[in-house]
Each structure stands twice: as C-alpha cells, then as structure tokens.
Amino acid sequence: MTRTPPHDEAAEQAVIGAALLAPTLVVDLAAIVAPADFRRPAHAELWRVLVDLHAAGAPGDPISVTAHLAESGRLGRVGGAPYLHTLVAAVPTTANAAHYARIVAGHARRRDVATLGARLAQLATSGADTADVITTGRVLLNAAPEPAWPAPIPLTARRAPRSFPVDVLPAWVSGMVEAVTEFTQTPPDLAGCIALAALSTAAGGRAEVEVRGSWREPANLFTVVVLPPGSRKSAVFAALIRPLLAAEAALVERTKPAIVEADLALRVAAKAADRMANAAAAADPARREQLLADATAAAMDAEAITVPALPRLVADDVTSEQAASLLAEQGGRLAVLSPEGGIFATLAGRYSGAPNLEVFLKGHAGDMLRVDRRSRPAEHVDRPALTLGLAVQPEVLRDIAQMPGFRGKGPLGRILFAVPENTVGRRRIGTSPIPHAIAEAYTDNLSALVLALADRRDPAVLPLSAEANERVLTIERDIEPRLAPAGSWAHIVDWGSKYVGAVARLAGLIHLAEHIHDGCGKPIDEDTLDRAATLGRYFADHALAAFDDMGADPLVDDARHVLAWIERTNTDRFTKRDLFTAMSRGRFRKAADLDPVLNLLTGHGYLRAAPAPERQGAGRTPSPAWLVHPDAIRPAGTVQPISAGRAS
C-alpha cells in the first residue's frame, strides 16, 4: 500500500508539450484526459490553463502561456518559464500526442482502482464482519462515481462578443449613439457602427493615416452589422445618416454656381471652336493652315474645361460599374449606406452573371482604379475611397460566405463586423425621443466635418506621434503570433492581416472628429490610438463570431442542431435511436450520419458514452447511449429590458 501510485511522468510531459507546440490539438486531447488525470499538480494546473485558453480563443503557445501564468501569479507553481520549454523539448513528435494522452488517462483509472482497493483493504483489516465487508465492497464497486465532467470546450472555442465601447467615441458622436440606442431600443452596436460609417463618409478620400514610412491607411471603413428582421435598422440609419444628406445638399448648393459658370464657358468655347473649324474648312489653301491651328487651339481650350458633377456623398444599392462611375465623378469619394444587404448579391453577379469585386477591393485599399468600357470614355481614380455601411440579416451573412471570391482576397477580409445581441422582444415601450440639443450637435459637427474636408483634392496626411507609434508596434507584436498556422486567428488570417491597418483608420476618424477644423495639422496622439485599439478589440471579437457563423463546418452546424435538441428537450441521456428518430431526415438521412456529430460532441466534452447494458438473451443489440454534460441542459433564462447609458 506504500507503492508509488501508477503514473508516467514522461507521458504527462509529452501531452502538455505537444499541446504547447500545436495548440489545435487541445480539443482532441481534452476528450481523452482531464486535469485531474495528471498525477503531478503542476501538470494538472498547466492542462487546465491550456484548455481554458483554447476555450477563450486565446493563443496557447509557450510565450502566451508564460505571460498568462505570470499575470495570474501562477508561473512559479508550475516550474517557471524554463519548465515550459522543457516540456516542449520532451516531445518527440506531436503525432503521438493522443497515444500519450491515453497512457495518462489509463494510469489515472488505475489510481482510481488502487484507491478503491485501499478502502476495501482498510475495511478488511478493521475487524468488521466478513459478510459486511463483502457487501460493502460490492456497494462501493457498484456505486463508483462517474468521473467528474470537465468544462466542455466550445465548438468554436469562442466567447460571446463584447459590447460596443460607446465611450471611446468623441462626445458629440457618443451622445448621439446613446440617444438613438435608447429611443429605438436597439443594440448600441448598430448606432455605433453606422456613426463610424458616417465619419468615414465625411473623411474618406480626404485624409490618410501615416503609420510608418510609406505605410499609409486611408480613412475609410467597411462596416456590417448583423441583425434579424424587425430590428429597427431603418430608423437608426435614418437618424444617423440624415445629416450627411443635409451636408450633401449644402455641397450641391455651394457647387451650383461653379457648375453653371463652367457649363456656360464650355458651350461658348465649343461654339468658338466649331466656328473656327468651319472657317478653316472653307478657307483657301494659303490661309487654311493658320486657321486650322487656331481651331485646334480653341478645341483644346474647350476640352480643358471641366463641368463639376453635382456632389454626391451617399449611394444605396449600386452596381460595381455605377460605383466606379460615381467614384470618378466625385473625386474618389463615395459611401454605400443601406439597412439591407442586397448589394452583396449585386456584387456576386445578380445582374451581370459574374462577380465584380474590383471596385470595392480597390475602393477599400485606395489603389488606383481605371475602368475601360467600349461604350464610354475610360474612368480613372487615383485614390478611390469607398465607405460601406450596411445592416444585414444573419441569412445574408451565411449566403455571402458561399459567394465566389468573397473570402481570401475578397471583401470579407476588409469588413468590420458587428454581431450584437438581438433585442427584439424585450424592448421598452414609450422611450424618450432623441434630445434636440444632442441631435443638433451631431448634425452641426458632422456637416462641419464634411464641408471642412470637401474641397481637398489631395488627402491630408495624419502622422502618428512617437507614443502612438509605440502603441501600434505593441499591437503588431500581439497580433502576429495569432496569424500563425496554429494561432487563434489562423482561420481568419485574411481579416487579421488587416487588423492593425483597421485600428489606424479608426484612430484617424476619431482624431478628425475630435479636431474638426484643425485635425489635419495635428499628429494622432496615444490616447486616440488607445481608443481606436479598444474598438479594434471589439471588432476582433465580432469578426470571430461572424466568420464562425459564415464559415461554420457543416459538421459543427449539425452538432449545434443536436445541442439545441438536447437543450429544448432537457435530455440528460439518450440513445442513438432516440436521436435519429427526433432528427429531420433532410439533415440526417441514415443513422450512420450521426456518428461524426456524436464523435465531435464527445470530443468537445458535451457527451460521454454511457456504459453498455448487459445483453439479455437473443434479440437486437441495444442502441448505444450517451450521457449529456449538465452545462448543455440550460433552462431558458429570463431577459432584462434594455437599459439606457453607455455600454461598457
């Protein structure tokens, strides 16, 4: 009874070392071993941390784990940073990680048996009656508890996205966002993202953030909010976009005299060139050469006169061709703002039959755009700046993920997504309208920003202060490991690779909104960069949720469907036959189609195979059964009404 309990130190080290080398293995290994299976307490602690980090979507590499343990004061308890590197060095190959995990789990079960045997031995030597000892032993054997349920690993290893940080916006913007949110009883994410799109409309094409050297980011954004029907999206859009339309009307009135003057000058010059051309055609050969030269000069003078287009800030559902033409007319600036997502279908080729994404890709990046058409003159835009501000239904989000060209180098990697909580069904009735003073301040300031930047032909360059540049470098160091093949953002590397640039763009918009009349002459300070980084973290959370919904593996979708059935029916144990009977034949045509789903849910800790009952006589083999994790059976919770005030 004094022997060392069964264990294998090398196998324990190999399991943790493999998970540190390849964090994506945590899901598979957690289905085999739990923290309590490790005999060495430091190993149990490390395994618990690795599982928790994976469930939170955080990096699980040695550097990140070391930093996490140091912050929580537990690094010394696990042997310090050198021991983590010892664990990594102890792994001959990660391919055998599951084998080592089974060894660890097997020794843990043997220790359980040894513990039970020790209790029986203690009873046998206690002087108790032999029959009582045997009876008690049988009771202990039959009543051996099921192993404790570890916390299940989320199917997508992600937490609920954070709330929109309204307080990082300039006061005149945040006040309007809060007032609109309260009046319409919508999530602050909706008003917040539309307000950012409004700032982008005002500044897009007129300012660039100089991050470092030749790295510049134009101050325009693509934002998409995902909400179901009936979420009052149109009301929020109307409240926040109306000042842009008023500013557009003011620009039109300001430009009309110049349009009239240029149009008149063009007509006069054209008629003069025509008269000279006619005179040259009718002249004798001796005078024709001089008259032809005069007519040519007059025609060139007429050609040099450009009639300005009527200013246009906002479009709705436009085709790529229309967007290119409008960008060319408007000096490279245009915003597509809509409470619907029909433009995605247009981009995918609803009218043309083929996707046409180039205008939107270059309009986000600011790359030169040149469009040649047979029926029209070539259109050239040196620095296009397109703003996108949409609110779409969840089904639209899933549809666009399947559209050709939208992932990889497509527009999805450029969009700042918001996937807020649905408030329909718990909205307060009779809320106060938007206060006049708040609406007036928002209208005046947004209009002033539009008009202050409207006449710039070349974009203003907004440099970063030295302190702000250090903040950007810190963000880059933090993000880069997440983009690695085993990193937490590996599946959204197209989006993550543009993350730092998005933070810079957000900083530029906050800076201009804080300094409406003199922002172009000041560098962006570190406080502004920190506020932009807070918005960046918000959008990163929501991007993970959005891409999870868009690009979910069909197997994960099936697993969620089964979990929904478990929760709805409050089932804590079921057989495969029960599940197949309850499921739709459109989803699972035969019982064997359930096997991958059951394996996935078992691997993530939501299910556990129940002991097979003893077969009694002839007949059909009993259907396999599963036990359900208690956390998967959640009674419907109560919901609270939306409260006014800022989101934290």
Please tell me whether residue 117 adopts helix, strand or coil conformation: helix
| Dihedral pair phi/psi, residue 212, rounded to 5° | -170, 125
pLDDT the model gives residue 137:
64
Q: How far is CA 315 from the centre of its chain?
A: 25
User: How many of the other CB atoms lie within 10 Å of CB of 146?
Assistant: 9
Contact (CB, 8 A) for 315 and 355:
no
Q: Which residues of the chain have pLDDT under 50?
A: 1, 552, 635-648
| Dihedral pair phi/psi, residue 306, rounded to 5° | -110, 125
User: Is residue 320 located within the same domain as residue 414?
Assistant: yes
User: Is residue 114 located within the same domain as residue 42?
Assistant: yes
Please give the structure tokens belonging to residue 596: 């991958």
CATH number of the domain enclosing 360: 3.40.50
User: Is residue 132 located within the same domain as residue 102?
Assistant: yes
| 216 DSSP β-pair partners | 210
> Rounded CA gap, 225 and 341, in Å?
10
> Rounded CA gap, 46 and 487, in Å?
19
In a domain, 153, yes or no: no
Please tell me whether residue 78 adopts helix, strand or coil conformation: helix
DSSP 478-528: HHGGGGSTTSTTGGGHHHHTTHHHHHHHHHHHHHHHHSTTTGGGS-B-HHH
pLDDT the model gives residue 329:
83
Tokens 């993550």 belong to 496
> Rounded CA gap, 295 and 280, in Å?
7
Strand-pair category, 385-392 with 379-381? unpaired
> Rounded CA gap, 216 and 210, in Å?
4
DSSP 169-220: S-HHHHHHHHHHHHHHT--HHHHHHHHHHHHHHHHTTTEEEEEETTEEEES-
Work out the end-to-end distance of the chain between its first and last CA atoms, rounded to an integer number of angstroms: 57
Amino acid making up residue 576: K
User: Is residue 249 located within the same domain as residue 260?
Assistant: no
User: How many of the other CB atoms lie within 10 Å of CB of 372?
Assistant: 9
Question: How many C-alpha atoms does 116 have within 13 Å on its Cβ side?
Answer: 16
Contact (CB, 8 A) for 556 and 599:
no
Among residues 168, 167, 161, the alpha carbon closest in space to that of 532 is found at: 168
Contact (CB, 8 A) for 495 and 543:
yes
In a domain, 151, yes or no: no
In a domain, 152, yes or no: no
> Rounded CA gap, 647 and 250, in Å?
34
Q: How far is CA 184 from the centre of its chain?
A: 25
Kindly state the DSSP code that residue 314 receives in the 8-state scheme.
Answer: E
Strand-pair category, 379-381 with 369-371? antiparallel
Contact (CB, 8 A) for 191 and 240:
yes
565, burial (CB in 10 Å: exposed 0-12, middle 13-18, buried 19+): middle
pLDDT the model gives residue 540:
93
User: Is residue 217 located within the same domain as residue 337?
Assistant: yes
User: Is residue 268 located within the same domain as residue 410?
Assistant: no
How do the residues of the chain divide into helix, strand and coil, expressed in percent and rounded to 5?
A: 60, 10, 35
Which residue among 465, 481, 501 closes a domain? 465
User: Is residue 385 located within the same domain as residue 294?
Assistant: no
> Rounded CA gap, 518 and 190, in Å?
29
In a domain, 484, yes or no: no
> Rounded CA gap, 233 and 329, in Å?
30
Q: Which run of H or E residues covers position 546?
A: helix 526-551
Which residue among 142, 158, 179 closes a domain? 142
In a domain, 514, yes or no: no
User: Is residue 243 located within the same domain as residue 178?
Assistant: yes
DSSP 552-620: --HHHHHHHHHHHHHHHHT-SEEEHHHHHHHS-TTT-SSGGGGHHHHHHHHHTTSEEEPPPPPP-SSSP
In a domain, 157, yes or no: no
Question: How many C-alpha atoms does 498 have within 13 Å on its Cβ side?
Answer: 24
> Rounded CA gap, 456 and 221, in Å?
19
Condensed to tens digits (0 to 9), the pLDDT of residues 540-560 reads 999 988 887 776 457 777 888
Please give the structure tokens belonging to residue 398: 């899933």
Contact (CB, 8 A) for 340 and 391:
yes
pLDDT the model gives residue 648:
32
pLDDT the model gives residue 471:
94
Among residues 239, 69, 164, 102, the alpha carbon closest in space to that of 647 is found at: 164
User: Is residue 346 located within the same domain as residue 428?
Assistant: yes
pLDDT the model gives residue 130:
66
User: How many of the other CB atoms lie within 10 Å of CB of 65?
Assistant: 24
User: Is residue 260 located within the same domain as residue 249?
Assistant: no
In a domain, 15, yes or no: yes
Number of domains in the chain: 4
CATH number of the domain enclosing 618: 1.10.10.10
In a domain, 362, yes or no: yes
Q: Which domain holds residue 624?
A: 554-632
Condensed to tens digits (0 to 9), the pLDDT of residues 411-425 reads 888 999 999 988 888
pLDDT the model gives residue 521:
82
User: Is residue 275 located within the same domain as residue 332?
Assistant: no
User: Is residue 374 located within the same domain as residue 265?
Assistant: no
